[in-house]
């Protein structure tokens, strides 16, 4: 565990194995996602045409909320049991270890949401053309949610009841992703090309990848020392 890559993959492996031990926690965001989407036809209309018109937006918003719900756990448990402080004292650069934690977290929360989304697309009668951009967009979009959300999670880690505050802090930052993500699906459904929008989404996630680990590492140092 002395080399950089050793530490990086070590953190990922550790977080994944901890997640596997608490499988219930893993499923919760998925059920949340499913239930929110179920409420849509119940509260608006079961009519397929109306549902199809709302499907891209509803699926994206529910995915956003589901990943937001899971963000709380990104650093919380490690902070409580003290392993987060150990991580910060290790000789490896903190941003790298934070990035490893974000990746592990995305693998157990973001990725399942992405894989689950076609099912919800079916339930909301999303037209066939919409599925590919929905999947691709959610892969990029949930990555941004996890990356930017990590900054908020790091800032609020030492606070009691930080979860509402966390959503308050990061949701405005999610606006561009939501706009590009939903319109990619919408364009595909309308028979237009969605390559340009997807490129914007890819740029947003690349940009977050560049900024978020550093900001989150800085935020951890501030949040924990205080």
d(CA 99, CA 104) in angstroms, rounded, equals: 9
Q: In the set 71, 104, 155, 189, which binds another protein (CB under 8 A)?
A: 155
Contacts 24+ apart (CB under 8 A), 11-15: 11/87, 11/97, 11/100, 11/101, 11/104, 12/100, 12/101, 12/103, 12/104, 12/107, 15/100, 15/101, 15/104, 15/105, 15/108
Q: In the set 20, 39, 44, 168, which binds another protein (CB under 8 A)?
A: 168
The answer to whether residue 162 forms part of the interface with another protein (CB under 8 A) is yes
For another protein, the binding residues in 111-140 under the rule CB under 8 A are: none
Closest of 153, 147, 146 to residue 224, by C-alpha? 153
Q: In the set 62, 67, 142, 183, which binds another protein (CB under 8 A)?
A: 183
Spatial neighbors of 99 by CB under 8 A, at least 6 apart, are 8, 213
Spatial neighbors of 157 by CB under 8 A, at least 6 apart, are 75, 76, 79, 84, 220, 223, 224
- 116/180 with CB nearer another protein: 180
Q: In the set 11, 151, 185, 188, which binds another protein (CB under 8 A)?
A: 151
Q: Which stretch binds another protein (CB under 8 A): 52-60, 63-71, 114-122, 149-157?
A: 149-157
Helices 131-155 + 175-189 axis angle, to 10: 170
The least distance separating another protein from the CB of residue 196, rounded to whole angstroms, comes to: 10
Reported as type and span, the H/E element at residue 216 is helix 195-225
The answer to whether residue 191 forms part of the interface with another protein (CB under 8 A) is no
Q: Which stretch binds another protein (CB under 8 A): 10-18, 67-75, 133-141, 207-215?
A: 207-215
The answer to whether residue 175 forms part of the interface with another protein (CB under 8 A) is yes
The answer to whether residue 223 forms part of the interface with another protein (CB under 8 A) is yes
Binding stretches for another protein (CB under 8 A): 148, 151-152, 155-156, 159, 162, 165, 168-169, 171-173, 175-176, 179-180, 183, 200, 204, 207, 211, 215, 218-219, 222-223, 225-226
């Amino acid at each position: 565990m002395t080399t950089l890559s050793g530490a990086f993959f070590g953190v990922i492996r550790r977080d994944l194995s901890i997640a596997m031990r608490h499988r219930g926690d893993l499923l919760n965001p998925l059920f949340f996602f499913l239930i929110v989407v179920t409420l849509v036809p119940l509260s608006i209309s079961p009519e397929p045409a109306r549902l199809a018109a709302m499907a891209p937006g509803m699926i994206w918003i529910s995915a956003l909320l589901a990943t937001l719900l899971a963000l709380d756990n990104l650093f919380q448990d490690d902070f409580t049991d003290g392993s987060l402080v150990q991580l910060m004292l290790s000789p490896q650069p903190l941003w790298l270890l934070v990035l490893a934690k974000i990746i592990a977290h995305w693998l157990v929360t973001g990725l399942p949401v992405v894989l689950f989304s076609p099912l919800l697309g079916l339930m909301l009668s999303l037209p066939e053309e919409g599925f590919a951009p929905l999947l691709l967009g959610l892969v990029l979009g949930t990555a941004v949610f996890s990356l930017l959300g990590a900054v908020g999670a790091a800032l609020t880690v030492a606070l009691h009841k930080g979860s509402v505050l966390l959503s308050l802090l990061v949701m405005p930052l999610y606006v561009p992703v939501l706009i590009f993500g939903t319109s990619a699906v919408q364009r595909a459904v309308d028979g237009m090309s969605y390559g340009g929008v997807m490129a914007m989404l890819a740029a947003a996630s690349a940009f977050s990848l560049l900024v978020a680990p550093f900001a989150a590492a800085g935020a951890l140092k501030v949040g924990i020392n205080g």
